[in-house]
Amino acid sequence: MSNIFNFLANPSRFRVFSEKLCPYSIFVMFIFIIIGLWFGLLSSPPDYQQGETVRIMYVHVPAAWMAMMIYLSMAIMSIFALVWRHPLADILAKCSAPIGAGFTLVALVTGSIWGKPTWGTWWVWDARLTSVFILLLIYLGHIALVRAFEDEYKGARAGAILTLIGVFNLPIIKFSVDWWNTLHQPASVIKLDGPSIHIEMMVPLILMALGFLFFYISFLLINVQTELNQRKLKKLFIKKLSINS
């Protein structure tokens, strides 16, 4: 495992690896999302309380999972960048942030659409909604901060520190429904005593989650390729200027 990790640490090798892997990842992403949408929109039954509006769950819940998972992965990347100075860790974190922000926004918007017929309101400042909104602000802060410095290393270091500070928001999001009185229901999928959701609803939920996971992998690879190419062009441009001067 460490040999693979060290092998992919080289930007050139990672670029070649990502170019080969990306088409397969995109293909798998489409397969999972198409099948997941078919099950979620056509095959799964309506909820006995929420009716047809429960189908928003098949986008809302996996998007919320991905928003938290991507941020956790960014925190791990930030540790590698700060402690071990891994050459690709800061790039992976930088390229993950826009995708994570997108999933967080999707979770908030679909949650509001779901909340109107279910709770009778588009928005309420309860613990879960507020903490997810804070997560979106942290994502946006990271995106702005790493691009605010002319020196890429300083920007990456500032972004890594912000990410590690913001990681304390993740357990608040996860356990807010247990710690405080919120409109959200307790966990029904990831539980110590097993899921309490019906299998016909579980299947599209897991399929969409896998589709979103491969969406993240695919666009992370694309973003990293773009970032590496931009940095390579920047170095060539600076080298050309130095030669001409």
Phi-psi region of 182 (alpha: psi -120 to 50; beta: other; left: phi over 0): beta
Who has greater pLDDT, 136 or 187?
136
Residue 101 lies in a domain: yes
Q: Identify the pLDDT of residue 30.
A: 97
Domain at 126, CATH number: 1.20.120
d(CA 154, CA 111): 36
Average pLDDT over residues 165-179: 87
Residue 2 lies in a domain: no
For 72-99, how does the pLDDT look when each residue is reduced to its tens digit (9 = 90+)? 999 999 999 999 888 789 999 999 999 9
Average pLDDT over residues 168-180: 84
For 10-56, how does the pLDDT look when each residue is reduced to its tens digit (9 = 90+)? 777 888 888 999 999 999 999 999 999 999 888 887 766 676 778 89
Computed on alpha carbons and rounded to an integer, the radius of gyration of the chain in Å comes to: 20
Residue 133 lies in a domain: yes
Domain of residue 68: give its range.
21-244
Residue 46 lies in a domain: yes
Give bridge partners of residue 58 from the DSSP assignment: none
Residue 45 lies in a domain: yes
Average pLDDT over residues 46-67: 84
Residue 15 lies in a domain: no
Average pLDDT over residues 131-140: 96
Residue 118 lies in a domain: yes
Highest mean pLDDT among 8-17, 53-62, 155-164: 155-164
Share of the chain above pLDDT 70, in %: 86
Total tally of structural domains belonging to the chain? 1
Residue 1 lies in a domain: no
Q: Are 149 and 158 in contact (CB under 8 A)?
A: yes
